[in-house]
């Protein structure tokens, strides 16, 4: 999921970026979208055993298309029929095993490459990012040290399941996956017999062709983080200097796609040998057919890396798909900023989100150029890239062993405690060396603490702006402190608590659900809290019950 630009909000539940079209976005109430009148149907009997006309009559529906490999058919129902009645009719049909809406998904970023200094996610020296935020040195994926060990392999295939890839981008064109049977074959002929003609660099599930050219930019942005060509004295560098980037397009020029095309895209990537499936998109409800095609990718030995979502919500209690599918190869990624704090838009979940990665103001390749975007869309390719780098170094590992390694070697960050399974960010060096890192010294849960009592109104009022001053007295020589929120429940991205230090610098902006969590580290012994709410959706509010400190 992606966020584009400094002040952009998450747009949609497709592309998981905070700045783009089809990215998983921030919405006041999550709206599940589907293609009107279209349904995905899995038959009990094979499609090939019944004619299209007979099937149409038997289902009482017109047949839009079929996916014989998956024994699926896409049907259209009368426009006046409600979704519930259409599903009831289809599910009660003796030919039907599964029927569900055709859900819509959206896009929920030391070689000699001259723009490396702009890639804080790979080399954070405390520089200012494109959004004006000063980073914390060392909050990066430790890839510079990892490159002394491994820079990637031209044998490793990573599928970017997204809006496509710019095949002519100078940083991407040398690392494109090439289907040799088609490249050496006859134009206009399906030389490898996989059902797609001239799929030389990938597949377009929307058109059913091999032209997966990016007409949006999101897919190219993700591809650049994974594998922009390294050490070529041009532009940026990806986590992998060498890799095969397979373009698998199912999201259109607006960053939007549907379940039918997602099924085809994932099936294609799995069948054609991609080891890492990178998925920076989301939306829809639980889909049994999508669940099954991801399970099949697991059987084929792939990792399904998924963006957690950009709704600032807890995936433990509010599922976000495909991230929330309980399949053992699904590996879920949240986004952090250059200070090591969970991005205010990022979904989280200490049971369901595995790890975090850089996802705020990430600089990468777009259509013929470069740009900074934000979102869990941008965090996901960092993890996809590290998975590919590790696999290139240790090709004997299974997909589950790769996932386990990434989790065990994640770099702990205090700002991620109780936010993900690992409480840390991905580390390329730790993964390659199988190093379990020490605890984060900034983990405030290990500091001394005193009781405190500060709270908002519960529930809070609409259109409010309330300032609270917090000062820790009675303890001498305090260097830093942190506030513990026993309760924090606000409308994500709309009702916010901003923490300022004694000098008026912004320390953190908190929104959504932040229960059982410490704030970011606040220098000194005092802070000012400003809580602002809009005119709708008043929730439970917040309560501070202790203050941790160090001298």
Paired sense of beta strands 369-374 and 3-4, if any: antiparallel
Distances (CA, A) of 396 to 55, 296, 417: 46, 20, 32
H helical segments located in 148-188: 180-183
Instruction: Write the Ramachandran bin of 231: left for phi over 0, alpha for psi from -120 to 50, otherwise beta.
Output: left
3-state helix, strand, coil in the chain (%, to 5): 20, 30, 50
**Which conformational region is residue 127 in: left (phi greater than 0), alpha (psi within -120 to 50 degrees), or beta?**
beta
312 Ramachandran zone, left/alpha/beta (phi>0; psi -120 to 50): left
CB 522 within 8 A of CB 499: yes
What are 450's two structure tokens?
Answer: 């005193």
On the question of a cis peptide bond just before residue 167, with omega within 30 degrees of 0, the verdict is no
How many residues comprise the chain? Answer: 551
CB 531 within 8 A of CB 466: yes
Q: How far apart are CA 514 and CA 524, in angstroms?
A: 23
**Residue 94: burial class (beta carbons within 10 Å; 0-12, 13-18, 19+):** exposed
507, 499 in Cβ contact below 8 A?
yes
Which is catalytic among the residues 113, 142, 162, 495?
Answer: 162
Name the active-site residue from 169, 201, 216, 218.
Answer: 218
393 classed as catalytic: no
Given the residues 377, 427, 511, 533, the one annotated as active site:
377
Q: First CA to last CA across the chain, in angstroms?
A: 39
Secondary structure element (H or E) that encloses residue 55, with its range: helix 52-59
Residues 6+ apart with CB under 8 A from 75: 38, 39, 41, 56, 59, 61, 62, 63, 64, 90
Report the alpha-carbon distance of residue 149 to residue 395 in Å, rounded: 14
Q: How far apart are CA 217 and CA 223, in angstroms?
A: 10
Distance CA 466, CA 452 (A): 18
Tokens at 109, concatenated: 């970023």
Annotated catalytic residue 526? no
Cα 432 to Cα 136, 145, 231, 336, 393, distances in angstroms? 23, 10, 20, 22, 7
Question: Is 377 annotated in the active site?
Answer: yes
Q: Output the DSSP codes for 10-22.
A: P--SSB-SBSSSS
Please state, in angstroms and rounded to a whole number, the distance separating the CA atoms of residues 472 and 527. 9
Q: How far apart are CA 231 and CA 17, in angstroms?
A: 27
Catalytic residues: 162, 218, 377
């Amino acid at each position: 999921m992606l966020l584009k630009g400094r002040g952009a909000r998450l747009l949609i539940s497709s592309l998981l970026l905070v700045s783009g079209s089809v990215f998983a976005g921030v919405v006041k109430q999550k709206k599940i979208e589907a293609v009107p009148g279209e349904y995905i149907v899995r038959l009990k009997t094979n499609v090939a055993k019944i004619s299209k006309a007979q099937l149409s009559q038997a289902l009482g529906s017109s047949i839009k298309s079929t996916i014989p490999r998956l024994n699926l058919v896409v049907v259209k129902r009368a426009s006046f029929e409600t979704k519930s009645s259409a599903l009831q009719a289809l599910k009660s049909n003796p030919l039907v095993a599964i029927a569900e809406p055709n859900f819509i998904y959206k896009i929920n970023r030391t070689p000699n490459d001259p723009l490396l200094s702009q890639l804080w996610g790979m080399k954070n020296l405390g520089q200012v990012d494109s959004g004006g935020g000063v980073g914390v040195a060392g909050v990066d994926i430790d890839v510079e040290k990892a490159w002394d060990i491994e820079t990637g392999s031209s044998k490793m295939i990573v599928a970017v399941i997204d809006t496509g890839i710019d095949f002519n981008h100078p940083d991407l064109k040398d690392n494109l996956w090439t289907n040799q049977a088609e490249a050496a074959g006859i134009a206009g002929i399906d030389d490898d017999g996989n059902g797609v003609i001239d799929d030389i660099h990938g597949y377009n599930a929307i058109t059913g062709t091999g032209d997966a050219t990016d007409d949006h930019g999101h897919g190219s942005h993700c591809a650049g983080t994974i594998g922009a060509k390294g050490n070529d004295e041009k532009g940026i560098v990806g986590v992998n200097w060498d890799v095969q980037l397979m373009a698998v397009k199912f999201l259109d020029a607006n960053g939007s796609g549907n379940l039918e095309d997602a099924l085809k895209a994932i099936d294609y990537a799995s069948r054609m040998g991609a080891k890492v499936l990178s998925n920076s998109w989301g939306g829809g409800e639980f889909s049994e057919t999508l669940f099954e095609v991801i399970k099949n990718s697991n059987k084929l030995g792939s990792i399904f890396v998924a963006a957690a979502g950009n709704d600032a919500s807890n995936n433990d209690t509010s599922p976000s798909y495909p991230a929330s599918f309980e399949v053992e190869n699904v590996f879920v990624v949240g986004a952090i900023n250059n200070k090591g704090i969970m991005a205010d838009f990022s979904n989280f979940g200490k049971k369901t989100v595995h790890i975090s990665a850089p996802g705020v103001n990430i600089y990468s390749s777009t259509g013929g150029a470069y740009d900074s975007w934000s979102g869990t869309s941008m965090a996901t390719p960092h993890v996809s890239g590290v998975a590919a780098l590790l696999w290139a170094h240790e090709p004997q590992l299974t997909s589950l062993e790769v996932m386990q390694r990434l989790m065990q070697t994640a770099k702990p960050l205090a700002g991620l405690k109780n936010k993900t399974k690992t409480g840390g960010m991905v580390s390329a060096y730790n993964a390659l060396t199988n190093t379990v890192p020490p605890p984060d010294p900034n983990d405030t849960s290990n500091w001394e603490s005193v009781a405190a009592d500060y709270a908002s109104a519960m529930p809070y009022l609409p259109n409010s702006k309330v300032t609270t001053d917090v000062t820790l007295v009675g303890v001498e020589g305090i260097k830093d402190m942190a506030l513990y929120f026993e309760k924090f429940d606000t409308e994500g991205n709309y009702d916010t608590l901003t923490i300022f230090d004694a000098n008026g610098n912004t320390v953190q902006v908190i929104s959504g659900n932040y229960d059982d969590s410490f704030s970011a580290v606040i220098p000194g012994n005092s802070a000012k809290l400003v809580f602002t709410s809009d005119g709708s959706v008043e929730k439970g509010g917040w309560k501070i019950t202790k203050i941790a400190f160090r001298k």
